[in-house]
Structure 1
Amino acid sequence: MSSYRQTNPAERRGFIAEMSQTERRTFIAAFGGWALDAFDFMVFTFVISTLGTIFHIDKGQAGMLATVTLLFSAVGGWLAGILADRIGRVRVLQGTILWFSVCTMLIGFAQSFDQILVLRALQGLGFGGEWAVGSVLIGEMVRTEYRGRTVGTVQSGWAIGWAVAAGIYTVAFSLLPDEYAWRVLFWIGVVPAVLVLFIRKNVPEPELYQRTRKQEVASEKPMSAWSIFSPRLLKTTVLSALLCTGVQGGYYAVTTWLPTFLKTERHLSVIGTGGYLSVIILGSFIGYLVGAVLTDRLGRRANLLIFAALSSVTIYIYTRVALSNEQMLFLGFPLGFAASGIFSGMGAYLTELFPSAVRATGQGFAYNFGRGIGALFPSLVGYLANTSGLGAAIGMFAGGAYFIVLLAAIFLPETKGKEIS
C-alpha cells in the first residue's frame, strides 16, 4: 500500500484526468486546433497530383505551392507571437484559426494556379501562427509537472488531423469526380472555425500572462519584440532557432523526397499505398505520445537527443539498405515514430526557455525561423540529387539537420521542472 500511495496520481489515472477543468478545456482547444491545422495543411498533399492535371501545373510549380505555405507560415508565426504578447494568447489563437480556415475554404473556389498560390501563402500566415500561440497558451496554462506530457500530446493531434485528411480524401475521391472532389476537401477546411466558439466560451487567458501584462502596464516599460535579440536572450534565441531548423529541416527533407527515392530508385510498389500511409501515421501518433512522456521523465534535451539519433539511424537504413516491399511496409512505423517523436518536447522546451513578456514572440520566431529555413531543404536536396544521387542527398541534408539538433540541445540548458515566470 505504501508504494501505491507514493505513486504520482497522474501516473495511476493519467495526467489528463488530474487536470483542472480549465487546464482540460485549454488542452482540448490546443489539441483540436493543431489537429484541424494538420487536416487543412495535409489535404494539399493528397490532391497535388489532381491539381497538376486540372491546372496543368508542373513539378516546379507544385513544389512552389508546397514551399510558399511554409515560408509564409514562418512570417505568420512570428507576427502571431508578437501579437499574442501584446493583446493576449486566446484572442490571437482564435484569429489564426479563423484565418487559415477561411483561406483553406477559398482554395476550393480557385480557378487558376496563381489564385491557389496566393491563397496558399495567406493560409500559411494562419498555419504558422496557430502553433506558435496554441503551444504557448497550453504551456502557460498547465502545471509544471504535466507540461511536457501535455504539450507533447497536443502535438500528437497532427497525426489525427493527417489521418482524418487521408480518410476524407478516400471517401471524396471514391464518390465524386476528381474535378469536384478536390474542391470539397478544401471546403471542409472551414470546419475548424467552429472551434473558435468553444475557445471563446471555455478558455481564459493564462493568469501568468495577465499578471505579466499588468506589471508591464504599471511600469510603462513593456519589453519590445526585439528584446529576444538583446544580450540577455540572444544566445537562447539563436540556439532555439538552430534547434528548430534542425528538427524541421530533417523532417521536410525526409518526408518530401523519401517516397520518390523509394519509388524511382528502389522500385518499391508499397510506397504511396493506403497500408503504408496508415503504418506511418500510426507510428507518428505513437511517437508523439512516447516523446511526450519521455520529455517529462528524462528531460527536454534527452528527448531531443534520443529521437535525433533514432531518426538518423532510420534514414540510414532507408537510404543505404536494400529492402523488400514487406520490410518497407513495417519500417514505415519507425520512420513515423522517430521523425514525429522529436517534436513532442519542442513546445514545452521553448515555453520554458523564454520569459513570459516575450514568450510567444521568442517561441514564434524560433519555431518558425526553423520552419522557414527547413522549407528550403527539399529544394536543396533536389539540386544536390542531380550530382550526388537522391539517396545521398537525403542522407546528407537530413543527417546534417539532426547533427544541428544534437549541437543545439547540448548547448541549451535543461529546463525540466522549471517554474516559468
Structure 2
Amino acid sequence: MSQNPSTPNLTLPWWKHLNGYHWFVFFVASAAWCLDCLDQQLFILARDNALKALDPTGDQAKLSGMAMAVFVAGWATGGLIFGAVGDRIGRAKTLAITVLIYSVFTGLSSLAADSTHFMIYRALTGLGVGGVFGLAVALVADSLPDAARAKALGTLQALSAVGNVTAGLFAMAVSGMDPNVSWKYLFWIGAAPAFLCIFIMIRLKEPEKWVAAKALSQTDKSKSMGSYASLFGDARWRKPALFGMLLCVSAVIGLWGIGFFSNKLTAPAIAQALAAQNLSPAEIQAGKQWWAAANLIVQNIGAFFGMIMFTKAASRFGRKPVFVVAFLAAMASTVMFYQFFKTTTDIWMSFVMGFCQLSIFAGFAIYLPELFPTRLRSTGTSFCYNVGRFIAASGPITLGVLASNLAKTAKAALPAIPEEGARKAAEAAAELAAFRNAGTWMSLIFLLGLVALMFLPETKDRPLPED
C-alpha cells in the first residue's frame, strides 16, 4: 500500500520535514534566543567588575545579589507583558520589539553613572529578555510541522548554549584589560542584536495557526487572544499554567540562584591556585577573569549536550519521566560541585553541572507550548517560564544572605589569630566554606519540580491542544 502523501514519514529526521521558510523561522527564533542568552551571560561575567567600578565602597556581595534580582524581576515582568502581547498582535512583531529593548538597554548599561543607574538599566533589559523565550517557542511551535516540532524546539534551546559560550569567549578576550573598563566592552557587544530586528520585521510572517485563531477570536468573543482572564478562568488552562510555573520556578532558582553563581565559588578557588604559582597581583586578577570565562564555557558546553540528550530522551520516553531524572541529576550535580570544586583541575564538574541543570530547559521549550491552545500559547508559555521569576528573583538574595549568615557564624567560631595575614586567610576560608554550604542547601529547590510534575499531563504524541 502506498503512503498517503499528506501523512508525514515519521522515520525521517526532524529537519527533513522543513522547507525553506520553516528553516528561516527556525533560524530567526533560534538567533533571537541565542543572542538573548549571550546578553544574559555577558551580564553575569561583567556584573561584579561593573559594580566594583561604579560603587567601590559598597557591599559587593549584596550589590551583586541585588543586581541579579532586579534583572530577573524585570525578566519576569517582561514575560508577563510580552507573552500576552505576542498572542494579541503577533509573535513576529512582538519578538522584534523585545530584541530591540534588551539590545538598547544592554548598551545603556555601559554608560551607567553609578550602581543605581546600572540596576535600573538591568531591570529594563530584563523586560526585553523576558519576552523572547515564550515568543520564540510559540513561533516555532505554530509554524513548523508537528513531526518536527519537539526536536526543533529542543534544538532551539540547545543552541542557546552557543550564545553562552560566545559570551565566555568575549570575556576571555578582555580578561587582560583593566577590569574597571573591560565590563563596558562586554555590554557594548550585548547591544549588537538590535540588527536582528531588521530581518525579523522584513521577512518573518505570522504563523497560519495564529492568523486563524485571531480571525476566530473576532467572531467568537469567548476565544480571546492573550487573555489572562481566559488563561485562569478555564480549568483546562489554569492548572497547567500554575503547575507549569512551579515546574519552571524550581529550575530557574536552581540555575540563576545557584548555578550561575558558581563563579563566586570558582573565583576564590582559582585565585588560591594562581597564588600558589607566585604570580603578580595583576596576573592573578587577569587569570581569575580568564578562568571565570573558561568555567562558563565548559558549563555551557555541558549544557548543549545535556539539552540535546533531554530532547532525544523526551521524544522517545515521554516528557515527564525525563523531567524526573533531570531534576534529580541537577540536584546531585549541584551538590557535588559546591562541595568538591577546589581548583582548576576540577573544571570538569562545571561540565557535569551544566549538563544536568540546563538539560531541564530543553524540556521547557518542548513541553510548555504543548500545554496551551494557539490563542494562549505565548501567554501561557511566558507565564510559566518567566513569571515564576518573581519568586526566583529571591534566589540570588537568599543565597547571598544565607552565605553571609553562615560566614558570620563560621568566623565567630574561629580561634583568636593574632597575625593579620593568617587571620584574613582563615576568615576567607570560612566564607568560602559557608558559600559551599549555602549552595548545597539551596539545591533542594530542584525537588519542587518533582512535586509540580505530579499535577501535569504527559503530552508525548499528542496534538497541540485547542479549545
Same fold? TM cut 0.5: yes
Which has the greater radius of gyration?
2
DSSP-derived class of the 2:192 partner: coil
TM-score by length of 2: 0.81
Deviations 1:353-373 (A, max 9, x none): 012222211111111122221
Deviations 1:254-291 (A, max 9, x none): 22444434565898748871543332121111112222
Equivalences for residues 249-398 of structure 1 within 5 A: 249-261=253-265, 269=273, 273=291, 274-320=293-339, 322=340, 325=343, 328-385=346-403, 386-387=405-406, 389-398=434-443
Is there any run of 5+ residues in structure 1 with no aligned partner, and where? Answer: 1-7
| Alpha-carbon contact 2:35-2:163 (below 8 Å) kept | yes
DSSP-derived class of the 2:458 partner: coil
> In the alignment, what sits opposite 2:95?
93
How many Å apart are 1:205 and its aligned residue? 0.9
- Cα distance change of structure 1 residues 287 and 11 upon mapping to structure 2, 3 Å threshold: farther
Equivalences for residues 63-74 of structure 1 within 5 A: 63-74=65-76
- Cα distance change of structure 1 residues 276 and 40 upon mapping to structure 2, 3 Å threshold: closer
- Cα distance change of structure 1 residues 404 and 178 upon mapping to structure 2, 3 Å threshold: closer
Moved more, 54-63 or 132-141: 54-63
| Alpha-carbon contact 2:270-2:343 (below 8 Å) kept | no
- Cα distance change of structure 1 residues 242 and 393 upon mapping to structure 2, 3 Å threshold: same
| Alpha-carbon contact 2:141-2:153 (below 8 Å) kept | yes
Deviations 1:213-267 (A, max 9, x none): 1011022444332222124222212111111111111112322444434565898
| Alpha-carbon contact 1:251-1:398 (below 8 Å) kept | no
- Cα distance change of structure 1 residues 267 and 11 upon mapping to structure 2, 3 Å threshold: farther
DSSP-derived class of the 2:361 partner: coil
| Alpha-carbon contact 2:71-2:125 (below 8 Å) kept | yes
> In the alignment, what sits opposite 2:277?
none
DSSP-derived class of the 1:204 partner: coil
Deviations 1:365-390 (A, max 9, x none): 11112222112112212333324843
Rounded Cα–Cα distance in structure 2 between residues aligned with 1:131 and 1:55: 31
Is 1:226 aligned to residue 270 of structure 2?
A: no
Equivalences for residues 137-176 of structure 1 within 5 A: 137-174=139-176
How many Å apart are 1:402 and its aligned residue? 1.4
> In the alignment, what sits opposite 1:34?
33
Rounded Cα–Cα distance in structure 2 between residues aligned with 1:63 and 1:249: 13
Equivalent AA in structure 2 for residue 141 of structure 1: S
- Cα distance change of structure 1 residues 360 and 277 upon mapping to structure 2, 3 Å threshold: closer
| Alpha-carbon contact 1:245-1:373 (below 8 Å) kept | yes
- Cα distance change of structure 1 residues 103 and 10 upon mapping to structure 2, 3 Å threshold: farther
TM-score by length of 1: 0.90
How many Å apart are 1:333 and its aligned residue? 1.4
Moved more, 386-395 or 136-145: 386-395
Rounded Cα–Cα distance in structure 2 between residues aligned with 1:169 and 1:319: 23
- Cα distance change of structure 1 residues 189 and 340 upon mapping to structure 2, 3 Å threshold: same
Rounded Cα–Cα distance in structure 2 between residues aligned with 1:184 and 1:153: 30
| Alpha-carbon contact 2:79-2:386 (below 8 Å) kept | yes
Equivalences for residues 53-64 of structure 1 within 5 A: 53-57=52-56, 58=58, 59=60, 60-64=62-66
> In the alignment, what sits opposite 2:239?
235
Count of residue correspondences: 410
Rounded Cα–Cα distance in structure 2 between residues aligned with 1:284 and 1:293: 14
Equivalent AA in structure 2 for residue 191 of structure 1: A
Rounded Cα–Cα distance in structure 2 between residues aligned with 1:277 and 1:189: 17
1:404 is matched with which residue: 426, 429, 448?
448
Rounded Cα–Cα distance in structure 1 between residues aligned with 2:448 and 2:397: 19
| Alpha-carbon contact 2:335-2:443 (below 8 Å) kept | no
Rounded Cα–Cα distance in structure 1 between residues aligned with 2:124 and 2:135: 17
| Alpha-carbon contact 1:156-1:285 (below 8 Å) kept | yes
- Cα distance change of structure 1 residues 326 and 183 upon mapping to structure 2, 3 Å threshold: closer
Equivalent AA in structure 1 for residue 251 of structure 2: V
Moved more, 159-168 or 25-34: 159-168
Equivalent AA in structure 2 for residue 414 of structure 1: E
- Cα distance change of structure 1 residues 403 and 173 upon mapping to structure 2, 3 Å threshold: closer
How many Å apart are 1:96 and its aligned residue? 0.4
Moved more, 65-74 or 198-207: 198-207
| Alpha-carbon contact 1:148-1:345 (below 8 Å) kept | no
How many Å apart are 1:27 and its aligned residue? 0.9
Equivalent AA in structure 1 for residue 22 of structure 2: E
Deviations 1:60-114 (A, max 9, x none): 2222111111101101101101111111111100110111111111222222222
| Alpha-carbon contact 2:99-2:128 (below 8 Å) kept | yes
Deviations 1:131-183 (A, max 9, x none): 12111111222222322211111112321111111222232454x54444322
- Cα distance change of structure 1 residues 279 and 220 upon mapping to structure 2, 3 Å threshold: closer
> In the alignment, what sits opposite 2:214?
213
Rounded Cα–Cα distance in structure 1 between residues aligned with 2:120 and 2:344: 41
Rounded Cα–Cα distance in structure 1 between residues aligned with 2:271 and 2:335: 18
Rounded Cα–Cα distance in structure 1 between residues aligned with 2:163 and 2:455: 34
Rounded Cα–Cα distance in structure 1 between residues aligned with 2:401 and 2:109: 30
Equivalent AA in structure 2 for residue 219 of structure 1: D
| Alpha-carbon contact 1:68-1:117 (below 8 Å) kept | yes
How many Å apart are 1:25 and its aligned residue? 0.9
